[in-house]
Amino acid sequence: MPTIYISDPVHDSVVADLCADHTVHLGYGPDVVDYADIGSEVDAVLLRAEDFGRDKIAASPRLQIIARHGVGTNNVDLDAAREHGIWVTTTPGGNSRAVAEHVFALALALARNVTVASRRTREGLWTDGKAGLTGIELHGRALGLLGFGNIGRLVAGMGRAFGMDLLVTDPAADDSTITELGGHLVELDELVAGSDVLSLHLPLTPATRHIIGAAQLARMRPGAILVNTSRGGLVDEAALLDALRSGRLGGAGLDVLEAEGVDMRDPLAHNHLPVTAFDNLVVTPHIGGQTEEALHQVGHAAATCIRRALAGGTPDNAVVVPARAAV
């Protein structure tokens, strides 16, 4: 019976499905196992956030597939997987709507001072300081999208439903699609200068790391909101905190961080400034794609990739294709 390792929590129905005809080890929960103890027995890995580097791959002689629960592969050593003839697959689209909706959860929380208002109400304050909680409406504001893939397009549609103007920066974007939405394809400088809400939708690569840095933040409109539900490294967090401290930036909503392994009670501690210092900073623990519907869809898509690879077939959405399969 093939052995599968599931790194992080997935939908219960996915675990039940795979347990029916596989030996399944979990990297979480009460029955957690250390991959180092079972790596030599593992045929497939269903991977979420755990780093899966060369050392783990080299210690897994039976491993045939690493099926990512999501679209990013920055936590997988793709070169090592290629050298060892291991499939690496992703599950694009399954959580796109969940992430797109989370963009507006963060944007609205900042635009309407939701977290501050909630905290004050819990503290027993109702009228005191109420004037300081005056927010802004999204209607009529400019929504800027840096990246126009599956999630970006959904965010665009939702933004238009709010009555927002649309600006897009993406060299691969179809200009006609943007035009149909009433939007405009612009260069990065125009995007950051013209957006009231700037939402990031790019993969993290050497070219995109810190694509939003001090220079871009300085060009943003006073009071603008930055939302990042994509990858933490897209934003220079030290520069972001300076922009928040100065009061020029209206707020930032982050679902991803450069260093997500730090103490989550103080998630930006590596920049020596606690997040509690800012009322206009909302941080969530990488939960943009974590809805009941998305977890079910993405988990079962990853499980299907595993089943096909172990049966000798070709799984969908392969990022790394073993040489034997490419012949």
Positions marked active-site: 231, 260, 286
- Residue 142: exposed, middle, or buried by beta-carbon count in 10 A (0-12, 13-18, 19+)? buried
- Residue 180: exposed, middle, or buried by beta-carbon count in 10 A (0-12, 13-18, 19+)? exposed
Joined tokens for residue 311: 């049966």
Dihedral sign from CA coordinates of 247, 253, 256, 262: positive
What is the enclosing helix (H) or strand (E) of 92?
none
- Residue 269: exposed, middle, or buried by beta-carbon count in 10 A (0-12, 13-18, 19+)? middle
Q: Which residues pair with 318 in a beta bridge?
A: 89
**What DSSP letter does each residue of 206-263 carry, written as one string?**
TTTTTSB-HHHHHHSPTT-EEEE-S-GGGB-HHHHHHHHHHT-S-EEEES--S-TTS-
